Amino acid sequence: MAHRLSCLPSLALVCLVQGCISDSPVPAKPSQDILVRLKDCFADVSARSGDRFVSPCAKVDVASLGGVTIEQLKKTLGPPGISSDDYVPSSPPYECRWAFYRLPSDVAMGGGPELQCVSADGVTCRQVRWVWTQ
């Protein structure tokens, strides 16, 4: 019986090592998947010209992006189209937005879905959501 018990630590070590050395990829965080999708959709908006275009990404649930940094959004999407930096003086909450729509070149006014980050500290988005402008 003592011999069997002495094998248990070795067996546990083998299981631990085999579990750590796995060929399966580490799954991406859901927020990273959403950021990649938003990046692709935002590029599509920029590439469109002519008629009105609304990105299908406006239907993506972005609530899980709460907690992402504004810097991460800027690295993913580029500078926001509008932000609290555009207003002097800026007071909390800090906000920035990226337009996920394109208006025809002959249209002066209009709107569509904008990805909005609201931040209390100007660093981390406490809330990310879609807002529809007119």
pLDDT single digits (tens) 8-39: 344 333 333 333 333 333 334 668 999 999 99
pLDDT single digits (tens) 78-90: 999 999 888 766 6
How far apart (Å, rounded) are the C-alpha atoms in residues 109 and 4? 79
CA angle 131, 67, 40 (to 5 degrees): 60
**Percentage of the chain modeled with pLDDT above 90:** 56
**pTM, 2 dp:** 0.74
Tell me which residue of 94, 99, 98 sits closest to 84, measured CA to CA: 94
State the amino acid at position 130 in one-letter form.
Answer: W
Tell me which residue of 113, 115, 118, 114 sits closest to 66, measured CA to CA: 118
